[in-house]
């Protein structure tokens, strides 16, 4: 009897370990951090949830985008997206083409929206365009 209970406990522990490993590997936050460390493009977004911000990484810089809807009548229509970063000092290696690539990727998901950039990003873009 004791060995049966012990086997069930070990089986449950093994199943939990497999579940935790799969959950860890499939975690979008982990994938985002991995893409950021490898300086790749990756985006986390719930397109059907207009109230939830999206995060994207490009060339090692983490950006966040806030979706704005024009009114409560059209909750799925995204009018404007405001994009900012917590580390504007990393933007000095960005070119105007990099910002265009980010805009293209966002516009693929939200084709009829306007993208507003945070002030440090606007200044970096203007400096690159000169």
Percent of the chain with pLDDT over 70: 94
Provide the mean pLDDT of the chain. 88
Reported as half-sphere exposure (CB side, CA atoms, 13 A), residue 47 has a value of: 7
**d(Cα 112, Cα 81) in Å, to the nearest integer?**
10
pTM of the prediction? Answer: 0.78
Instruction: State yes or no: pLDDT of 91 exceeds 90.
Output: no
**DSSP letter (8 states) at residue 89:** G
Q: Which helix (H) or strand (E) holds 50?
A: none
15, pLDDT greater than 80 = yes
Q: How far is CA 62 from the centre of its chain?
A: 8
pLDDT of residue 21: 94
The pLDDT, as a whole number, for residue 76 is 66
Under DSSP, the state recorded for 52 is S
């Amino acid at each position: 009897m004791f060995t049966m209970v012990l086997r069930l406990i070990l089986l449950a522990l093994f199943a939990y370990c497999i579940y935790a490993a799969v959950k860890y590997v499939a975690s979008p936050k982990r994938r985002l951090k991995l893409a950021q460390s490898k300086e790749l493009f990756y985006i986390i977004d719930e397109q059907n949830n207009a109230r939830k911000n999206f995060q994207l990484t490009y060339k090692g810089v983490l950006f966040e985008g806030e979706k704005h809807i024009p009114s409560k009548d059209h909750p799925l229509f995204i009018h404007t997206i405001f994009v900012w970063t917590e580390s504007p000092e990393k933007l000095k290696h960005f070119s105007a083409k990099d910002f265009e690539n980010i805009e293209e990727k966002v516009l693929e998901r939200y084709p009829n929206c306007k993208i507003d950039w945070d002030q440090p990003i606007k200044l970096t873009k203007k400096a690159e365009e000169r």
